[in-house]
Structure 1
Amino acid sequence: MGDHSEKSAETPGMGSRGVTRPMAEKEIKDHNKGHGEGGMDKEQRMQMLKMHHKQTLWVYWLIILLGFWLVIAPLTFDYGNSIAQPSGGRSLWLSDAMRVNIMYWNDIICGFLLMIFGWRSLTPNRPISMWVACFVGIWLNFAPVIFWAPNAFIYNNDTLVGVLIIALTILIPGMPNMITYMKMGSSVPPGWSYNPSSWPQRWIMIVLGFLGWVVSRYLGSFQLGYNGFAWDPFFGESTIKVLNSKMSHSLPVSDGAFGALAYTFEFLMGWMGSPTRWRTMPWMVTFFGILVIPLGLVHIFLVISQPIVVGEWCTFCLLAAGIMLPMIPLEFDEVIAMGQHMVQARRRGDNMWHVFWKGGKAFEENEDTRSADLMDLPNKPMAVFKSSVWGVSVPWTLLISTILGITAMFMPAAFGISIESMPAHIFHLTGALITVVSVISMGEIVRLGRYINILLGLGLAVAPWFTSASEITLNIIGVGIGLVVILLAFPRGVIKEKYGLWDKYVK
């Protein structure tokens, strides 16, 4: 052991060339290839941890500096200057003075915490300190939204510093101490034809998350009072009416800013973990899946309800929902792959708590030789894009259903039907839901969901006839669209990939 340790320390490796998590993973992988999983004992992993820590030492110093910046920010800038008032005369649950004082002391306290735990993190093998700093970064993103940061500087300062802290604690150096327990093995789930956690698969999620953040941040800045006008290219002042509606004001926080917060975490979580995170980080895939799928659906349904509850359309709200919608089928496969691994680990008799939080051993050895290299994006953009959408196919049946759903949404306007009438509500709701179901069902792993369109098509064909304010021609069109959607729900469409244990559910 002694000879090997000395040789490892002298050999050019991560200690001389690596700076971030991927190098640590490569070092362990290369070591295991030569010595087998059993050859990596605890002492060797600790040595590797120290080598990795040495090369990422700048990270911990930067955490300290950012903490110092937070401490002096309230002392340098007047937090009570130009206090922004929420749009639409919204009443807040705390006074302006409280908003200023809370954010003033919040930044000072968070800054000192970052300095303390950043300093502690200068010593290797202190994962708790890194996690505390990470949660401070998370809180810095929440605080300006919860406490209605009194001006744009505080909001921008806290959210941007918070993002940097999260990146510096768990993204750039990797999960704290993961080197000490990381299990190398297969990249592709058993029985699958591709790796749902590959970088191309995550790249498209990162891009969509960033775009959603940009749109939601714009809406949130208006509601928080930092921007006096919310522009809408198609519906005039409808966006302002939606953002200032009773529906929006019923929430204790800005829904636009909260949406930006959600997209922030979706964007960051896209970077987390290695291309084997479906196996090595089930907890992260679970939380990412919750953020994208159920919470994403809630976001979409809230946007769908706007013409029904508020009686107005909002272009940027529709855009935000449109960005979120494809993320759902794109994320389902990674969640299913993680679930398959958990099921197989349970059958093997593994400790499920340990597997969930620290990952499990592979069931087979394989390499992901199919996915395009993300570095080839500038030269081979189409190859990378194709790799990023494996698991999602577009059968002509679902494509037409999507078009018909969008058409149904706007048919009441074409016939001059009031947006507040019951026929309009039926067309808006069923059309939007048909669109949502059709797009999500393009994910091969959830193709069964297309059968929901049978009920939606039936509702569109029948419900308008029971309203008094409807037009006979519009009703007939509803019948036509509804029946076509029903018929299109029966063909499964093309399935291009394999999904291991889940294949039997792809029908």
Structure 2
Amino acid sequence: MNKNHKGGGMASRGVSRPMSKQSGENNNDNNGKEDGGMNRDMMLKMHHKQTLWVYWLIIILGLWLAISPLTFSYSKDIVQPSGGRELWLSDVYRVLIMQYSDVICGILLMILGWRSLTPNRPVTIWLACFIGIWLNIAPLVFWAPTSMIYLNDTIVGVLIIALTILIPGMPNMISYMKMGSSVPPGWTYNPSSWPQRWIMIALGFMGWVVSRYLGAFQLGFIDEVWDPFFGESSMKVLNSDMSHSLPVSDGALGALAYTFEFLMGWMGSPTRWRTMPWMVTFFGILVIPLGLVHIFLVISQPVIVGEWCTFCLLAAAIMLPMIPLEFDEVIAMGQHMVQAKRRGDNMWHVFWKGGEPFEKNEDERTTAIMQLPNKPLEVFKSSVWGMSVPWTLGISTALGIVALFAPAIFNISIETNAAHIFHLSGALTVVVSVISMGEIVRAGRFLNILLGLTLAIGPWLVNDSNLSLSITGVVLGALIIFLSLPRGIVKEKYGLWDKYVR
């Protein structure tokens, strides 16, 4: 065996696993051979042999799931959703469906795990992965009748996803992965490096913890939600008509989204902006548009419900920095797709299997994630490349927070139109300012001009404001408009996207 191959070639590890030498993926592709001439088929078999324990564990988890209805009572101490919410199916069917779901999924996992013991069966592995996804969705859709069912299914589901596409790497990716550059052409950093993803993984986990707590209340597993600032307002929000308008628990739905965001942070190599465009696209959709929807729903609570919820605000605050942190990876992927199209590549193939690099380079700037205990500051700096905080955006964020609290300062009821103007404009100013700290979307700061105008003019057009609040709106709005004009500092380069950083 080639000596270098023992040390860390692609066949010796899961493609998604963070390594100390990220340049290990920059070996040349010579007619389908890697690491000193070893054929990719041989590498695939070797990798499968070294990760064989994964598929045995899938079989074991399948057996555990299949016998769960025999081990735990699915019909004892059934809980009801909070707030007297009416469900779309009866308790009998809630129990019956979850029993059948777990038994069938368990049997399928045993079959698929057994088939996966034979190498080169990517479809089988993907089917097992989809079962793991379903196990996270089923307790939400069918309103798990007990907390044990919810816990069992979601934990087993996460483990199955990790065992199929995270720990061993994407199925058969060794067979077609294109070696080459780590840093996008014209860029000064790698937006898919492990430090860049580490902070996304950490934020995703924090959001999962918060949302899972809110979901546990709505599902009926706990009787109350602690709120250090707004008292019982949180439970009023979680049991409001706005919340009940969804057929599922919105808190548990948020936990599901954060689960996928956390797991997708681990997926792929540090070159996934080039080798896995499909995954970066789905991750971007999950974080950016769906994240914005989540944030907008939270900041609309005082307008629609008339109450605040501390942990709802915390979940939105966790999601907010994830949006600019993910934008750069999406743009790098889009740049690669544009360049591949210009070169005449098959776009369908590039999207699903990655494309050939346009240059050969290594990421020599990023501090390896394994240095986190010894060099935490350097790793953190590497994780936020692409973001900067101009004083203008920093002050705009502070002014947005002031606008949020202005109605309370001037004793204006939260249910008045004047308060709604300040709450929405202030919250959106914070959202726009923080997102615009991402250099690649710095032009988004111009949206603050509209928000500033709304603050300056809006209170004068309603009859439930007072003079002090209206004058405050003019001052805050004028300052926000003024601060939205300068671009501020930009530290990095973004290749084809540089012309849009304005």
The bucket for the TM-score relative to the shorter chain is over 0.9
The answer as to whether partners of 2:287 and 2:322 remain within 8 angstroms in 1 is: yes
SS in 1 for 2:192: coil
Matched, 1:477 2:481: no
Matched, 1:263 2:266: no
* CA positional deviation for 1:215: 0.3
* CA positional deviation for 1:75: 1.0
SS in 1 for 2:31: helix
CA distance in 2, matches of 1:279, 1:465: 52
User: Deviations along 1:289-346, whole A, 9 cap, x unmatched?
Assistant: 0000000000000001100000000000000000000000000000000000000000
The answer as to whether partners of 2:452 and 2:481 remain within 8 angstroms in 1 is: yes
* CA positional deviation for 1:10: 12
Length, aligned pairs only: 500
CA distance in 1, matches of 2:91, 2:106: 23
Which position in structure 2 is the counterpart of 1:3?
none
* CA positional deviation for 1:24: 12
Which position in structure 1 is the counterpart of 2:30?
37
Which position in structure 2 is the counterpart of 1:502?
497
Matched, 1:75 2:70: yes
CA distance in 2, matches of 1:31, 1:138: 29
Which position in structure 2 is the counterpart of 1:385?
380
Which position in structure 2 is the counterpart of 1:355?
350
Which position in structure 2 is the counterpart of 1:408?
403
Matched, 1:486 2:481: yes
Task: Read off the aligned partner of 1:292 and give its amino acid letter.
Answer: V
CA distance in 1, matches of 2:147, 2:466: 49
Partner of residue 287 from structure 2, selected from 289, 292, 298: 292
The answer as to whether partners of 2:10 and 2:25 remain within 8 angstroms in 1 is: no
Task: Read off the aligned partner of 1:288 and give its amino acid letter.
Answer: F
SS in 2 for 1:54: helix
Partner of residue 57 from structure 1, selected from 44, 52, 58: 52
Structure 2, gaps ≥5 residues long: none
CA distance in 2, matches of 1:309, 1:477: 24
CA distance in 1, matches of 2:429, 2:303: 16
Matched, 1:334 2:307: no
Structure 1, gaps ≥5 residues long: 1-6
* CA positional deviation for 1:13: 5.6
Which position in structure 2 is the counterpart of 1:249?
244
SS in 2 for 1:21: coil
* CA positional deviation for 1:376: 0.8
Which position in structure 2 is the counterpart of 1:205?
200
CA distance in 2, matches of 1:364, 1:495: 25
The answer as to whether partners of 2:26 and 2:180 remain within 8 angstroms in 1 is: no
The answer as to whether partners of 1:14 and 1:27 remain within 8 angstroms in 2 is: no
Matched, 1:444 2:439: yes
With the length of structure 2 as denominator, give the TM-score of the two structures: 0.96
Q: Describe how 1:265-284 pairs up with structure 2 within 5 A.
A: 265-284=260-279
The change in CA–CA distance for 1:487 and 1:36 in structure 2 (over 3 A counts) is same
The change in CA–CA distance for 1:22 and 1:70 in structure 2 (over 3 A counts) is closer
Partner of residue 107 from structure 1, selected from 102, 111, 118: 102
SS in 1 for 2:67: helix
CA distance in 1, matches of 2:123, 2:464: 63
CA distance in 1, matches of 2:52, 2:120: 13
Matched, 1:434 2:429: yes
* CA positional deviation for 1:208: 0.3
CA distance in 2, matches of 1:30, 1:384: 19
Partner of residue 84 from structure 1, selected from 79, 84, 102: 79
Identity among equivalent pairs (%): 73
User: Deviations along 1:32-57, whole A, 9 cap, x unmatched?
Assistant: 84x75325189911110000000000
* CA positional deviation for 1:18: 3.3
The change in CA–CA distance for 1:476 and 1:491 in structure 2 (over 3 A counts) is same
Q: Describe how 1:365-380 pairs up with structure 2 within 5 A.
A: 365-380=360-375
CA distance in 2, matches of 1:457, 1:73: 57
Matched, 1:456 2:451: yes
The answer as to whether partners of 1:141 and 1:158 remain within 8 angstroms in 2 is: yes
Q: Describe how 1:61-210 pairs up with structure 2 within 5 A.
A: 61-210=56-205
SS in 2 for 1:454: helix
Task: Read off the aligned partner of 2:98 and give its amino acid letter.
Answer: M
The change in CA–CA distance for 1:39 and 1:479 in structure 2 (over 3 A counts) is same
SS in 2 for 1:403: helix
User: Deviations along 1:71-115, whole A, 9 cap, x unmatched?
Assistant: 010111110011010000000000001100000110000001100
The answer as to whether partners of 1:14 and 1:51 remain within 8 angstroms in 2 is: no
The change in CA–CA distance for 1:14 and 1:470 in structure 2 (over 3 A counts) is closer
The answer as to whether partners of 2:10 and 2:43 remain within 8 angstroms in 1 is: no
Which position in structure 1 is the counterpart of 2:304?
309
SS in 1 for 2:39: helix
* CA positional deviation for 1:379: 1.0
Which position in structure 2 is the counterpart of 1:20?
14
The answer as to whether partners of 1:110 and 1:136 remain within 8 angstroms in 2 is: yes
The answer as to whether partners of 1:411 and 1:474 remain within 8 angstroms in 2 is: yes
The answer as to whether partners of 1:200 and 1:388 remain within 8 angstroms in 2 is: yes
CA distance in 2, matches of 1:419, 1:170: 48
CA distance in 1, matches of 2:309, 2:406: 17
CA distance in 2, matches of 1:23, 1:464: 54
The answer as to whether partners of 1:434 and 1:453 remain within 8 angstroms in 2 is: yes
User: Deviations along 1:373-432, whole A, 9 cap, x unmatched?
Assistant: 111111111100000000000000000000000110111111111111100000000001
User: Deviations along 1:446-490, whole A, 9 cap, x unmatched?
Assistant: 000000000110011001101111010000000000000000000
Which position in structure 1 is the counterpart of 2:228?
233
Larger relative contact order (C-alpha < 8 A, sep ≥ 6)?
2
The change in CA–CA distance for 1:453 and 1:30 in structure 2 (over 3 A counts) is closer
* Segments of 4+ moved more than 2 angstroms: 7-33, 35-39
Task: Read off the aligned partner of 2:41 and give its amino acid letter.
Answer: M
The change in CA–CA distance for 1:122 and 1:13 in structure 2 (over 3 A counts) is farther
User: Deviations along 1:245-274, whole A, 9 cap, x unmatched?
Assistant: 000001000000000000000000000000
The answer as to whether partners of 2:18 and 2:369 remain within 8 angstroms in 1 is: no
User: Deviations along 1:204-242, whole A, 9 cap, x unmatched?
Assistant: 000000000000000000000000011100001000000
The change in CA–CA distance for 1:177 and 1:410 in structure 2 (over 3 A counts) is same
